[in-house]
Amino acid sequence: MAYVDSTRRFVLFGGSGVNYDNRTWSFDPDGGPSGNGSWHVSGNESFDGVVSNAMAYDPVNDVVLMFGGTNIDGFFAGATLEFDPHAAQWNLHIPTPRPGPRSHVSMAFDPASQRIVMFGGSTNTEQLDETWLYDAATHSWELVDPPTRPSARSSAHMAVLNGVPTLFGGTTGSDETWQWDGIARTWTQLLPATRPAGRMGGMLVSTGSRLLLHAGEPPPFGAQFNDVWAFDGVDWQLLQADAPATPVVYPGGFAYDSSRHFALRVGGFAPDFVVLDEVQKFDDELPAATPYGAGCDTSDSRPSLSASPPAIGGSWTIRVSHVGSSSPTPLTALYWGTSDRDFAGVSLPLSLDFAGRPDCMLRTSVDIAVVPLAASGGAIDQLTLSIPNDPNMLDGRLFLQAAVIQGLVYGNSNGLAARLR
């Protein structure tokens, strides 16, 4: 399952109950007569239903990539499928080279390289340690060979923390935390002092400034976990020892809604191998700064907006990274708004075609402020603010976007949805 920024909906494919489902489902959290959410389903697709597949949303090209899994006959899937969320259709691509069929891979979009990174997986005969990069703009795969990498594994999970793809767990190295540098094309193992018990399966999502880990089981088999952990890039923290939901080993789907700030868990296998039809929402009730959408290039850099969690009574650091050259010095301003849906009666995101940049989108209303950032002359400009210890600010929502001029060329960053707690 994946969350699509541009439609503000979840997309789910496959899974098994009595049969292997080959339909595509979408979930609108605001739909239905009471506004509590509604599901929409397509007809049967032209390809097999699968389980143990992976999906990742590419906000730059506005597509969902699906790869891997196994069908009802036990055959491994190796098709490269892209989902167009606006046409609600899948498109098959057959690039060369491409990964071989496999299941239980880990996959996430890397904002730095604007590629989807895929690691590991398994076949009938082996666990894999391959790192593949997928470029949705050219529908092409590339196999890379970093000198240091996680051990061969499957059933690990990957999500993006502060712009960096981060992997946890798996059938080997089950309590390890790794990060992928898409520019240097290297893996680095992190060594947090506190970490969850090793596990395979389970679920991992990103709130932008924090990862949330839920469920799974110790390899090769064992008592299922029903805990919830958070990772801030330095250390893991236990949030719930026993979540108020049926324990699952492998979920039907788990993804994070960057606009509404909650994680959605759908279905899954319970410890007694009963297939669940539960839909659970999880709110970590913590401050969050979640990227959404994609930006556009200036003359020689690609702005990326991120931030620390905005905690009431604490300090809040907002960062604009200029991925690429920082010469000539970029000039940066922050747009602050109250909505990512409309601005002055116009729907967002809004194409800046009228300004000669059809590839750039305005993603936040500019109804609070425009704040210039002091140019650092380096790769990162940042602003640190003190948030008052005012309970009236609890659950306050802000939307930000960076506007950047470099070499007389305008560009902008992704959007950032912030929740104050």
Q: Does 112 score more than 80 pLDDT?
A: yes
Give the model's pLDDT for residue 34.
81
Q: Residue 311's closest CA among 215, 393, 191?
A: 393
Model pLDDT for residues 297-329, shown as the tens digit of each residue: 887 777 889 998 898 999 999 988 876 666 677
Residues 71, 178: Cα–Cα separation, whole Å? 30
**Has domain 289-419 been given CATH number 2.60.40.10?**
yes
Q: For position 248, what pLDDT does the model report?
A: 66
Q: Is the pLDDT of residue 378 over 80?
A: no
For residue 232, CA distances in Å to 26, 138, 194, 334 come to 30, 33, 12, 24
Quote the distance between the C-alpha of residue 287 and its chain's center. 17
Mean pLDDT calculated for residue range 179-204: 94
**pLDDT at residue 240, rounded to an integer:** 86
The residue-averaged pLDDT of 189-206 equals 92
What b/e string do you get for 41-74 counting C-beta neighbours within 10 Å, with b at 16 or more? Answer: eeeebebbbbbbbbbbbbbbbbbbbbbbbbbeee
Q: Is the pLDDT of residue 221 over 90?
A: no
Mean pLDDT across 40-58: 86
Residue with tokens 């005012």: 390
Q: Cβ atoms within 10 A of the Cβ of 76, count?
A: 19
Q: Does domain 2-285 have CATH number 2.40.100.10?
A: no
Q: How confident is the model at residue 249 (pLDDT cuts 50, 70, 90)?
A: low
Q: Using 50, 70 and 90 to split pLDDT, how confident is the model at 252?
A: confident
SS (H, E, C) the chain: CEEECCCCEEEEECCECCCECCEEEEEECCCCCCCCCEEEEEEECCCCCCECCEEEEECCCCEEEEECCECCCCCECCCEEEEECCCCEEEEECCCCCCCCCECCEEEEECCCCEEEEECCECCCCECCCEEEEECCCCEEEEECCCCCCCCCCCCEEEEECCEEEEECCCCCCCCEEEEECCCCEEEEECCCCCCCCCECCEEEECCCCEEEECCECCCCCCCCCCEEEECCCCEEEEECCCCCCCCCCCCEEEEECCCCEEEEEEEECCCCCEEEEEEEECCCCCEEEEECCCECCCCEEEEEEECCCCCCCEEEEEEEEEECCCCCCEEEEEEECCCCEECCEECCEEEHHHCEEEEEECCCCCCEEEEECCCCCCEEEEEEECCCCHHHCCCEEEEEEEEEECCEEEEEEEEEEECC
pLDDT for the residue numbered 226: 85
On the question of pLDDT at 289 being above 80, the answer is yes
Tens digits of residue pLDDT in 74-86: 889 999 999 999 9
Domain boundaries, the chain: 2-285, 289-419
Average pLDDT, the chain: 88
Per-residue confidence (pLDDT) for residue 139, from 0 to 100: 97
| Residue that the structure tokens 């958070």 belong to | 230
